[in-house]
Chain A
């Protein structure tokens, strides 16, 4: 059993990165490894969009990540600096910036870049999926 981390930098439905990362994540968990966390960075933060509503006959990536978190206790960490400037705010940040509504909710959490460093240090393997 090894500890894994994933860094995802591709937006959903723009490139294959998010699909690849989710497929890899499921395979890692399926092989009995511990997937510690997924860090969403750059355009990858769009994977945390609470309001994503893809057609029903397409994979729902946001729900896919949430299911992964629920089934395997994977933490879903979203870079706060990349998220805020793209309009991805949780309830707390929305209130802080005077915005109506919020676009990020648990199990996704807004965190700092330090968490990515920590993930890299904690895990035996960190695999990056770029756009």
Chain B
């Protein structure tokens, strides 16, 4: 299982498509920095059905005032949780 890390919003960059096409069936996707915009309402649909495998970094949501708008299907993790995700994954792949 790999952890994919995405720092671009699907509203401004197409790189999320490459991340999705590279993801294996058990891989996880963590949204950080401007990528956390992908955790909101309509944009979250860009990621298809990643239920339980889509994460967003809480500090970056909070810095942008987006915590209340985060979709319920997205798992919020803080930076400690980020480290845990890297522990659990065999490798990490960053998309930017």
Docked-complex contact A125 and B92, CB < 8 angstroms:
yes
Docked-complex contact B80 and A27, CB < 8 angstroms:
yes
Docked-complex contact A28 and B83, CB < 8 angstroms:
yes
* CB nearest neighbor in A for B92: A127
Please name all residues of chain A whose beta carbon is closer than 8 Å to the beta carbon of B5 when the two chains form the complex. Answer: 127-128
Q: Can you name 21 A-B pairs with beta carbons within 8 Å?
A: A4-B86, A15-B33, A17-B33, A20-B33, A20-B60, A24-B79, A24-B82, A24-B83, A27-B79, A27-B80, A27-B83, A28-B83, A30-B80, A31-B80, A127-B5, A127-B94, A128-B5, A128-B92, A130-B94, A130-B96, A131-B96
Question: 1/0 per residue B8-49: CB within 8 Å of A?
Answer: 000000000000000000000000111000000000000000
Q: Which residues of A (5-44) have their CB < 8 Å from a CB of B?
A: 15-17, 20, 23-24, 27-28, 30-31, 33
Please name all residues of chain B whose beta carbon is closer than 8 Å to the beta carbon of A30 when the two chains form the complex. Answer: 80
- A81: Cβ under 8 A from any B Cβ: no
Interface range for B: 10 to 19
Docked-complex contact A16 and B83, CB < 8 angstroms:
no
Q: Looking at the complex, which one of A4, A16, A24 makes contact with B7 (CB distance below 8 Å)?
A: A16
Question: How many of chain A's residues have a CB under 8 angstroms from any CB in B?
Answer: 20
- The complex places the Cα of A131 from the Cα of B60 at a distance, in Å, of 15
Q: Which residues of A (39-64) have their CB < 8 Å from a CB of B?
A: none
- The complex places the Cα of A18 from the Cα of B89 at a distance, in Å, of 23
- B59: Cβ under 8 A from any A Cβ: yes
Q: Which of B7, B32, B60 has the most CB of A within 10 A?
A: B7
Nearest Cβ distance between residue B78 and chain A, in whole angstroms?
A: 9
* CB nearest neighbor in B for A4: B86
Nearest Cβ distance between residue B30 and chain A, in whole angstroms?
A: 11
Nearest Cβ distance between residue A36 and chain B, in whole angstroms?
A: 14
